[in-house]
Amino acid sequence: MRLNDPKNRRQKRPPQQHQRSTVEVNVESLLSIENHCNGCAKGEQCCCSSYEVCVTTAELKRIIKVLPEAARLCPHLLTVGGYDNVFEEEEPGLFSIDTTEDGLCLFAYRSHHQTHCSLHTVAMTLGLPLEQVKPKVCLLWPMHFSDGDEVLAIINDAFQFKCNARKAPGSRSLSPGFVETIELVYGVGCGTQVKLAAENGERRTLLVIRR
């Protein structure tokens, strides 16, 4: 991971597992944290401004489909001829999302003094499945695949964000948001499998991807 500043931001890239048939999950790591996202207040550290988010070609195409709706929340996406090109190709099939000068994702917007994701809001408003609009790396956060590590776990800097709280040692109850997210990203039954693994005291579990 790279430090968060305009010249050297941390990367949030799609895990290689999105092309694989299985994902190993570090259950103990997920049990260490409780996550509740209600938007970030101004001045708080925010995941929308802390990472360089990269998306696949398929994710890019899905985002482009909802640009008109996202632009209603983020008018800076509009240009005289249509919409701004906010994607930059990093390597074949992988694109980073541009940010403002202070590092905020161009799909983020502020409402009632809180920072929110326009893609998330658009999906909820239109009744679309989140995984068909929002990048997987953003859905999964603060779960993450570290560079060179093929195990899903909590990102190292998670406790720098107010939405994440450290749980008491020995807890066997998984954050409900993690169960829901794993279901969205990897398929029906995957979240339940991780939940049961946690309750049964398993340190890791192997998911068979169903999406």
Q: Cis before residue 169, ω within 30 degrees of 0? A: no
Two tokens at 144?
Answer: 């993450």
Kindly state the DSSP code that residue 201 receives in the 8-state scheme. T
For 152, the 3-state DSSP assignment is strand
Q: What is the mean pLDDT of the chain?
A: 88
Please give the Cα distance from 78 to 162 (Å, whole number).
32
The CA-based angle 2-24-59, given to 5 degrees, is: 60
Dist. CA 162–CA 170, nearest whole Å: 22
Kindly report the pTM of this predicted structure: 0.86
Q: How far apart are CA 6 and CA 145, in angstroms?
A: 23
Q: Please say whether the beta carbons of 30 and 178 come within 8 A.
A: yes
Q: Residue 59 has what pLDDT?
A: 96
Return the pLDDT at 13: 55
**Is 110:100 a contact under the CB 8 Å cutoff?**
no
Distance CA 163, CA 62 (A): 27
Helix, coil or strand: residue 113: coil
In one-letter notation, the amino acid at residue 54 is C
pLDDT band at 203 (very low <50, low <70, confident <90, very high): very high
Mind giving me the DSSP string for 14-36? --GGGGSSEEEEEHHHHTTEEE-
- Asked if residue 19 has pLDDT above 70, the reply is no
The band of 43, judged by pLDDT with boundaries at 50, 70 and 90, is confident
Give residues with Cβ within 8 angstroms of 4, minimum separation 6. 10, 49, 50, 51, 103
Strand partners, 79: 82
Could you report the per-residue pLDDT of 92-135, keeping only the tens digit for each? 999 999 998 888 999 999 998 899 999 999 999 999 999 999 99
